[in-house]
Amino acid sequence: MSVFLEVIAIMTALSLIVASAFVTPAFALKRYFNCVTEIANKSGKLTLADVNSCYDKEFHGSSHASSGASTSNANGK
């Protein structure tokens, strides 16, 4: 009986860890959209620099690798 309870406790702990891994990025996405919306409502316009700023703020450093690829594709290189 105690082995069964240990297995249930381990499975519960693992499921909580996996669930928290999915919840954290969802909150980051919400904060990203809130940042973009706040800038657009405050200034009346939204630039690509504003979007990148919000992206870098919420998804730390993720756009640095992709920004070079999109810039080179836009320039035809």
Of all residues in the chain, what percent are helix, strand and coil, respectively (each to 5)? 85, 0, 15
Write out pLDDT tens, residues 4-21: 888 889 999 999 888 877
pLDDT of 73 over the 60 cut:
no
At residue 61, the pLDDT reads 61
Angle at 56 between CA 55 and CA 61, to 5 degrees: 130
Mean pLDDT of 20-26: 76
Mean pLDDT of 13-42: 87
Query: Of 11, 29, 8, 9, which Cα lies nearest the Cα of 19?
Result: 11
User: How many CB atoms lie under 10 A from the CB of residue 58?
Assistant: 19
Write out pLDDT tens, residues 46-72: 999 999 999 998 887 655 544 444 444
